[in-house]
Amino acid sequence: MAENKTQPTEVAVSAFIASVEPRRRAEDGLRLDELFQGVTGFEPRMWGPSIVGYGRYRYVYASGREGDFLAAGFSPRKAALSIYIMPGYADFGTILQRLGKHRIGKSCLYVNKLAGIDLDVLAELIRAGLDDLKTRWAVHPE
């Protein structure tokens, strides 16, 4: 069975964030790192070339597919900040209504700039996502 394309790496999170362009996006990345560490209590780790992840969980599907993935994280991409919680945002509509300007995908929240959202609500959303994930899979700090 094929492995996930996104795997943990040994790249230093601080070096990755420092390399992000434009500078405003790197500054948002630093703020997100502080927020995620505070909410999760986990140290960050790079997953693939551009995702900063916090915690890890091992999934095993009924199909037999299994693997490890980050429990929560973000990527300061050029077009938008991508914020990940697993298993996604479908059940968090009441929190999302209070967040501010955003778009959502299956397990990704897109934010153009942190100034456009309420960071306390984002912290609540990250916590809710982790709590929900823990009802399905064990979440580990690394």
Share of the chain above pLDDT 90, in %: 77
Supply the pLDDT for residue 51.
Answer: 97
HSE (side-chain half, CA atoms, 13 Å) at 55: 26
Instruction: Tell me which residue has tokens 């300007």.
Output: 101
Q: At what angle do helices 119-134 and 23-40 cross, to 10 degrees?
A: 50
Query: Using CA atoms, how far apart are residues 116 and 100, in angstroms rounded to an integer?
Result: 6
Would 55 be classed as within a structural domain?
Answer: yes
Distance CA 33, CA 109 (A): 16
Give the pairing type, strands 44-47 and 51-60: antiparallel
**Residue 107 falls within a domain, yes or no?**
yes
7 belongs to a structural domain: no
pLDDT-derived band at 64 (thresholds 50, 70, 90) equals: confident
Domain encompassing residue 35: 13-135
Contact 43, 37 (CB under 8 A): yes
**What is the pLDDT, as a whole number, of residue 2?**
61
Question: Does 4 map to a domain?
Answer: no
Instruction: Write down the pLDDT at residue 27.
Output: 96
The CATH number assigned to the domain holding 103 equals 3.90.1150.200
**How many structural domains does the chain have?**
1
- Tens-place pLDDT, residues 2-54: 677 889 999 999 999 999 999 999 999 999 999 999 999 999 999 999 999 99
Structure-token match 């502080």, residue found: 34
Is 109 in a helix, a strand, or coil?
A: strand
